[in-house]
Amino acid sequence: MSNAPRASGIAKDWGSDDSASPILHVDMDSFFASVEVALDPRLRGVPLIVGGLGNRGVVTSCTYDVRALGVRAGMPMSRARALAPNATVLPGRRQDYATYSHRVMELLGRYTPRMEAASIDEAYLDVSGAKRQFGSPMQIAVDLREKIRTQLGLPASVGIAANKTVAKIASAHAKPNGVLLIPADATEQFLAGLPIGALPGIGRKSGEALTARGIDTLGDLAQWDFKDLERIVGPTSAYSLQRRARGEDTSRVGQRESEKSISTEETFSRNLLSRVQVSAYLNQAAYQCARRLRSSQLRAWTVHLKLRDASFRTITRSLTLFAPTDVGREISDAVLQLFDREALPAGGVRLAGVGVSSLVSLTSGVPVPLEEDTRPREVETAMDRVQEKFGISAAQPASSLGKPWESSAR
């Protein structure tokens, strides 16, 4: 759910020449909320918010009628409820969202192997080599949106442009449930009138620093004195931001910086007051990290534990393994070993997390013990195949079923 600023008066037609605009950015509309509707059609047309239900909960997704009332992703749920008192609030189902995400990405991958999943609900496609089979970029965008709608019951918006940066900005302005083509020769004109926050990579602080100097639009940013821009955001950021504000982006689809770490953490609706509760969560989070490692063809040398107590004091601990792993059981054993060394905070655990780092790719070769027991990995890999076909809840280790840390919390 994107919070990027959009220009309300932006034109919806910039021409029909897509011959030099082969990059598509597919962004699912209100993804979590849309999945909830797909799973329960009775929710169709109902104002809907998805997120944490407790006092500490935040919004993760909402329908567009609720967005019109000012609700945004990351907003405290208490504030969202005040803005939209008639909205239905759901806690969310991560496993179902992951299943639908996998189905979306699988469908997009049928059009071109040059696909890059940017997050759970968005992806880039380079359709340069798919035109003969599937038609022009615009035809492909229309066709894939229709297939996502009919086969999965989900709405999606698509931006079409000459490069990834402009395609992503275009998809934001195609929402909800639309397509926006930016011909290559219309790129600068399209970008010039947009607010600077529309450019990916400009956060709140840097945006405030820029607007304080009178840089309000991407057109301003593109033409600003480079030396002055360096003084505001630094030389590296100045160069990158100014190039992209002009619509210059040479990064290829699929060309992403390799992951340096993977982590899973959760802030609990009530502090966990027993070691059993915390251990149950850490075990499940370890298996989630392992699944992500296997899906990315990575193994990790180092396992990390993160705990935050009731007074917001945070501790982190780490353990380097004898050999890199992508096995949930091994990551769980390591993180629980770290946890065993720590005293349970007097006021309970507010947040817990598991992370892995020092990642190595299987394609580059990894060291393995001489007498490695391959059975745990084989079992978890078999579960991966079942989950890919039938959903994550179809097969899980018995030790990671349910949320015992919630049901037993007091």
The string of DSSP letters for 50-63 reads: EE--STT-BEEEE-
Sign of CA dihedral 62, 68, 71, 72: positive
126 is in an annotated binding site: no
The domain that contains 289 carries what CATH number?
3.30.1490.100
Whether residues 75 and 107 share a domain: the answer is: yes
Kindly state whether residue 409 falls inside one of the protein's structural domains: no
Kindly state whether residue 375 falls inside one of the protein's structural domains: yes
Contacts of 178 (CB under 8 A, 6+ apart): 12, 157, 158
- Which among 269-273, 367-371, 391-395 has the top mean pLDDT? 269-273
**pLDDT value, residue 294:** 85
Distance between CA atoms of 357 and 318, rounded to whole angstroms?
Answer: 10
Distance between CA atoms of 221 and 241, rounded to whole angstroms?
Answer: 8
Distance between CA atoms of 336 and 308, rounded to whole angstroms?
Answer: 16
Closest CA to 274 of 374, 381, 406: 406
CA distances (Å), 266 to each of 59, 123, 269, 379, in order? 14, 25, 9, 26
| pLDDT tens digits, one per residue of 182-241 | 999 999 999 999 999 899 878 778 888 899 999 999 999 999 998 888 888 887 788 888
Distance between CA atoms of 353 and 308, rounded to whole angstroms?
Answer: 9
Tell me the backbone φ, ψ of residue 30, rounded to 5 degrees. Answer: 45, 55
Buried b (16+ CB within 10 A) or exposed e, 62-77: bbeebbeeebbbebeb
Please give the residue range of the domain that contains residue 319: 261-400
Whether residues 178 and 198 share a domain: the answer is: no
Whether residues 178 and 201 share a domain: the answer is: no
Distance between CA atoms of 343 and 410, rounded to whole angstroms?
Answer: 19
Whether residues 313 and 272 share a domain: the answer is: yes
> Three-state SS string across 233-257, please?
HCHHHHHHHHHHHCCCCCCCCCCCC
| pLDDT tens digits, one per residue of 286-303 | 998 998 888 878 888 899
Kindly state whether residue 2 falls inside one of the protein's structural domains: no
Closest CA to 271 of 59, 77, 55, 78: 55
- Confidence category of residue 20, pLDDT binned at 50, 70, 90: very high
| pLDDT tens digits, one per residue of 76-129 | 898 999 999 999 999 888 778 888 988 999 999 999 989 988 888 999 999 999
How many domains, the chain?
A: 3
Whether residues 46 and 141 share a domain: the answer is: yes
Residue 21 pLDDT > 80: yes
27 is in an annotated binding site: yes
| pLDDT tens digits, one per residue of 245-261 | 999 998 888 755 556 78
Kindly state whether residue 381 falls inside one of the protein's structural domains: yes
Sign of CA dihedral 241, 244, 249, 251: positive
Pairing outcome for strands 349-361 and 261-272: antiparallel
Mean pLDDT check: name the lowest of 39-43, 308-312, 376-380: 376-380
The single residue listed with the structure tokens 């399209």 is 190
C-alpha angle 359-363-366 in degrees, rounded to nearest 5: 55
Beta bridge partners of 306: 316, 353
Kindly state whether residue 84 falls inside one of the protein's structural domains: yes
Q: Tokens for 128?
A: 């340069």
| pLDDT tens digits, one per residue of 337-355 | 999 999 999 899 999 999 9
What's the start-to-end Cα distance of the chain, in Å? 33
The domain that contains 49 carries what CATH number?
3.30.70.270
| pLDDT tens digits, one per residue of 141-151 | 999 999 999 99
Whether residues 19 and 104 share a domain: the answer is: yes
The domain that contains 209 carries what CATH number?
1.10.150.20
Whether residues 325 and 220 share a domain: the answer is: no
| Of the residues 149, 183, 217, the one at which a domain ends | 183
- Confidence category of residue 386, pLDDT binned at 50, 70, 90: low
Q: Which residues are catalytic?
A: 122
Instruction: Output the pTM of the full model.
Output: 0.67
